[in-house]
Chains A and B, each alone.
Chain A
């Protein structure tokens, strides 16, 4: 610091006057030096006066300090004499006090003895009045106080029990308390006690040194009796609804049970008893556990019975609310009874209820299905009017289908109540519950769909003689289910119950059911075709079998049975057309819905464009006809036609199936007969008539022509004199009708 001190600054300690002067002289002009001198002089004067002021002020202060010190000196002298005086007085007080203590010593020990005697006397008085007091307390039924007093006295007796005077009192007291104990025990055992009083009495008896283990088991049996009464009472409450029933159970039974259990726990399990064996507590806990589970089981069984008898009849929601309440209560109880396990669970009951409801619903569905089937059947049988049948059928299908689907939907919604989120239980959380939910899908829905398919399949059996239209209706219904219903329903159930069926190995896949449905629809349709074909067959067979073909006249007209057959087929076609639009042959040969005008043109075209039909046989001379080669050669050139194939779900295919069966029958019948010339010509006329009329119904008339060819061919074979009619004449006869 010193190094850096500026030698030219006058205010610092390193100021060097010589240097400063030198610098001043060197740097400054005269005037400046003069100014500087004046300034320095002025500064010096100012500093000087300042110093003078300071000295003056401090001087005053020193004077006043000196005065103060002198005054203090005087005060201390006076204080010293006061303190000496005080010392003397304290000494005299001490001596006085010692004197007093010495005098009082004897009196105090006497007082002590007196007060002890007083309390002893008081106790003696208590003892002597104790029997009377106990009696009055017992009479007042203030057992708790009596026991309290007795226990109090007990201690005294323990102390002074040897003295004969006390002995009398003690005996009396013991006797009274013995009576009381008996009375209490009787009360304890009496069945009508509430759990509350039971607990109280238990506590008292315990205080009266009752044997703990006996008391413990007795308490449980008594409580058990009481609870059993409650159960019996609950059993009779059949008129009450579920909610009331459960509330009663909770208020009465469960509360009592909880009380018994908690007091038992406090009385026997939580405390330690010297006089009992070491494992007493453990045993007591065990017994309590068994007792608790027994009773809960009993009660829950009751509830379960109740649920089982109620489910499906009452309101499910009410029941579930009741069960929910019960579940909460039990949950709470489980929390209270720590260390105890309640094995049986309300969730099990709920799951059981769900299962049962499923079954009930499933049965309902089946009943409903059976009902609607029989109503469909009835309406089919009763409504015979052919004109109206068309509309009727699709209506019936609609009704059957819609009612079925709606019913299932309703049931699914109904069951959803089990999964409501505001319940305290969660079914899906448990494995069994999850299984149950899947059961709704598998057993209820899939099972029902399978049932439908099976029942419907039953109709396809020939042994069940169901009206053909019923088969048609059922087949169509199955088809609708396959195309829509199954998907909708399965999607619905998966959605509602959050089931992931796509990735599950155990769950039935939608396509399986669809395939089943389709199969059923197919077999029903086949049965329909078979049945209608059989009907047509029957007509044709009877007509061929009963006629005398050897001795008939030259044909003048088409036989009536052929017209009947065509009419019948027309009827079938209109019915089928009402259900199956001619969509199947969009890419086919020709739409079957050709109008009347096109029919005419078709007919002329037909006769021109299909000449080979007539020519097949009419070109041959009788001698050629005799040869069987003709038929075989003819067969060689016509491609093999598979006559019997499964029917498709189109109008043309269905009607064709029926026609095929009919024509085949005609063929077989013809082969069994022998014909005269005119008989053969009659067949020729009939075949032509059929050809004229059957094209309307089918998409591929080649097949019809092939079969008619075969029929005529066989007739030629079976004819003794094979002369066919002029084709023109045949046509004229046929057109005449």
Chain B
């Protein structure tokens, strides 16, 4: 336990925060972006780039000013390390918009002392034009393979944007032409599917999980209605296994679906006692699930029975015959509870670099970088 405690690194923000994302374009260092969420005009909203140094066991941060407003959501571009998208709400105008932010190229050489202000300036800030679709941008999702393509979930629509061109295209709209939009809940969030050559975009609205084919408008590839008893908050695709999608919802359930079998989830846990705000597969070992909830806890769950590793192992077993040694697999279920947060945890993300490191951010501005406990790590590796 001591060992686990010591592997915790805490970083504090002064303001409330709800946005966290790893720097997907970065390949060497464990880096996360976080951004604050404060409405008050007296507070300046900030965006921090945290770099976790495992050797020294500390966090170095670079601080940027987010003068556009309070940040609700951050996404980093997987193709371009210094590009990220933020969804923000601007002061008194209660509408959310999105902007693409570009970091300076040579961050390493920028020294805070040399700057006049305490903040590092942006190289470029580009506000996306979403006004045509309403004032409630939920998220901007970078396409996993096509650099120029963005999906923007706004209100009850999903718009496909091409950077550099001004062309946008609606690929999904919950509100059919003419029907009243009032009673239809908007999209909660969305995400690209890692499979299908990047042609599918998964969305959540109310209790439903549905997938749209972007090659056509309003083409719903499949959907799972009533995936949860209440609102579905977040989803994640298993990057290593087709057809598996994880969802977390207000009923406190974490479920993994095989969307070819929409009747019932293939995996289900209810270890959280309040809403689940984020769910993530570990990209390297997808039996490790990370979920954060407003019960102030981050949970590490094992879903070995539905992971891709189980599958590949079986194949090895059948090919390798008797020489394959019987490895004690981690049993399904809750592995570890991280309860160092004192407020609701809205984000928890795996590092894209180190498979055993993850960061979680609670509303009170506390970032905790933690590691998968060693015993589980060894069990998975060996």
Give A residues with C-beta under 8 Å from B. 462-463, 530, 534, 537-538, 541, 550, 626-629, 631-632, 635, 640, 643-644, 661, 664-665, 667-668, 671, 674, 717-720
Contact = CB atoms under 8 A, between A and B. Distances in A.
B39 A661 contact: no
Contacts of B344: 667-668, 671
Contacts of B342: 635, 640
Contacts of B187: none
B274 A644 contact: yes
A626 B15 CA distance: 11
A632 B365 CA distance: 10
**Which of B14, B251, B273, B363 has the most A CB atoms < 10 Å from its CB?**
B273
B230 A538 contact: yes
Given A534-B251, A628-B14, A628-B15, A643 B363 contact: no
A463 B228 CA distance: 9
A632 B364 contact: yes
Nearest to B13: A628
A644 B264 CA distance: 28
Interface string B124-156: 000000000000000000000000000000000
B270 interface: yes
23 contacts: A462-B251, A462-B253, A530-B252, A534-B251, A537-B230, A541-B250, A626-B40, A626-B42, A635-B342, A643-B295, A643-B296, A644-B274, A661-B273, A661-B274, A664-B295, A665-B275, A667-B294, A667-B344, A668-B294, A671-B344, A671-B363, A674-B39, A717-B16
A700 B286 CA distance: 42
Contacts of A671: 344, 363
A541 B230 CA distance: 11
Interface in B355-382: 363-364
Interface of B is mostly: loop
Contact of B40 (A463, A538, A628, A667): A628
A534 B270 CA distance: 14
A462 B295 contact: no
B229 interface: yes
B1 interface: no
Contacts of A632: 364
Contacts of B230: 534, 537-538
A628 B294 contact: no
B110 to A, nearest CB: 27
B39 A717 contact: yes
B169 to A, nearest CB: 29
Given A629-B14, A674-B94, 14 more contacts: A530-B273, A534-B229, A550-B94, A627-B42, A628-B43, A635-B364, A643-B295, A644-B274, A664-B294, A668-B274, A668-B344, A671-B344, A719-B39, A720-B92
B200 interface: no
Nearest to A720: B92
A726 to B, nearest CB: 23
A48 B257 CA distance: 158
A656 to B, nearest CB: 13
A166 to B, nearest CB: 90
Contacts of A627: 40, 42
Nearest to A628: B15
B229 to A, nearest CB: 6
B89 interface: yes
B193 interface: no
Nearest to B274: A664
B38 interface: yes
B308 to A, nearest CB: 26
B14 to A, nearest CB: 7
Interface of B: 14-16, 38-40, 42-43, 89, 92, 94, 229-230, 250-253, 264, 268, 270, 273-275, 294-296, 342, 344, 363-364
A537 B250 contact: yes
Contacts of B251: 462, 534
B15 A674 contact: no
Contacts of B264: 463
Contacts of A550: 94
Q: Which 3 A-B pairs have the closest CB atoms?
A: A644-B273, A644-B295, A626-B40
A640 B16 CA distance: 18
Nearest to B94: A674
A640 to B, nearest CB: 6
Nearest to B295: A644
B228 to A, nearest CB: 9
A530 B295 CA distance: 13
A500 B15 CA distance: 67
Contact of A462 (B89, B229, B294): B229
A635 B15 CA distance: 14
A479 to B, nearest CB: 21
Nearest to A550: B94
Q: Most A CB atoms within 10 A — which of B39, B251, B264, B364?
A: B39
A718 B15 CA distance: 12
Among A626, A640, A644, chain B packs the most CB atoms within 10 A around the CB of A644
B319 to A, nearest CB: 38
Nearest to B18: A671
A578 to B, nearest CB: 26
A530 B250 CA distance: 11
A628 B38 contact: yes
Nearest to B344: A668
A462 B273 contact: no
A717 B270 CA distance: 31
A667 B363 CA distance: 12
Contacts of A667: 294, 344
A703 B226 CA distance: 33
A667 B342 CA distance: 14
Nearest to B297: A644
Nearest to B43: A628
A658 to B, nearest CB: 12
A674 B39 CA distance: 8
Nearest to A718: B39
Contact of B270 (A462, A628, A631): A462
A626 B275 CA distance: 28
Contacts of A635: 342, 364
Nearest to A671: B363
A667 B14 CA distance: 20
A601 B153 CA distance: 55
B227 to A, nearest CB: 11
A522 to B, nearest CB: 14
Given A628-B43, A632-B364, A668 B94 contact: no
A721 to B, nearest CB: 9
A643 B275 CA distance: 13
B216 to A, nearest CB: 32
A107 B42 CA distance: 172
A593 B46 CA distance: 51
A462 B264 CA distance: 12
A247 B128 CA distance: 97
Contacts of A628: 14-16, 38, 40, 43
A665 B94 CA distance: 22
B254 to A, nearest CB: 12
A638 to B, nearest CB: 11
A468 to B, nearest CB: 13
A450 B349 CA distance: 41
Contacts of A661: 273-274
Contacts of A720: 39, 92
Contacts of B363: 671
B273 to A, nearest CB: 4
A640 B251 CA distance: 24
A635 B363 CA distance: 13
A693 B270 CA distance: 31
A538 B230 CA distance: 8
A417 to B, nearest CB: 45
Contacts of B273: 530, 644, 661
A627 B92 CA distance: 17
A724 to B, nearest CB: 15
A629 B264 CA distance: 46
Nearest to A722: B40
A228 B322 CA distance: 55
